[in-house]
Amino acid sequence: MKEITKQINEGLEKLRQEGPLIHHLTNHVVMNDCANITLHIGGAPVMTFAPQETEEMASLASGVVLNIGTLTEEYVEEMITAGKVARQKGVPVLLDPVGAGATSMRTSAAKRILDEVGVDIIKGNAGEISVLAGIDATVRGVDSMGTSMEPSSVVQKMAADYKIVAVITGETDWVSNGEDTYKVKNGHKYLSALVGTGCMLDSITTAFASAMEDRSMASVAALAVFGISAELAALNPEVKGPASFKKSLFDEIYNINGDKIEKRAKIEKLHQ
């Protein structure tokens, strides 16, 4: 555990020193929150819509977020363009396949991005990742309603099949690169009572990935930092529910440091 938290702390320090530009093609519902959370963790957010600048902006970025939450055919084309430019440049690309499995359009869009871009990290709930890994699952709207396989096995299969880092979020979070698999147990119930916390995690994960060569460790870092910040936010005596928690969460992300990570991180590496 000490070696893992050491890597996380070094990644956080580097992230804050470099201030990476994170190019978002993300969910319109929570774009402002994603911009702020990127800024608070130490990055520089940019949100784009116009196809005329997608390629140019992606070429300037240190990391790219592709989130299909508010999906259109045109937006998918932009995502593929941005993702290809980023991959050619060697900067990390994260895909959040929001609602994959709920509709054929979402499932096919996520698969197309995986096939044509070849992303570095895919991050979703158990249902979304299961569907894309070819495992029976039920997704309603953007929520996972169940899967036929344990999340630890799903995340390993997804990572191995696509040769990427796969992340499954939930009460327990899972990360795998197909060989090494990690379990992260930090977090708080209020995260599930707010719209867009998963999208915010996309931003933090991509920011860490821009500062850490090990994409799986960058994903572990983001999960731990976000989860620890949520735990600390909930301890604020002014927090009475999800709305006040959200305000406190942003402050805790801004103030997260190595000591807090060392004391509170709940990370376990699974033995194969």
- Domains identified in the chain and CATH numbers: 2-270 (3.40.1190.20)
pLDDT tops 80 at residue 149 = no
Tell me the two tokens of residue 270. 């699974």
CA distance 241 to 48: 32
10 Å CB burial of residue 141 (0-12, 13-18, 19+) is exposed
pLDDT confidence of residue 101: 84
Strand intervals (E) in 19-162: 21-25, 44-47, 63-67, 93-96, 121-125, 137-140, 143-147
pLDDT tops 50 at residue 144 = no
- Torsion angles phi and psi, residue 206, rounded to 5: -65, -35
DSSP run (H or E) holding 136: none
Banded pLDDT at 138 (limits 50, 70, 90): low
- Rounded to two decimals, the pTM is 0.95
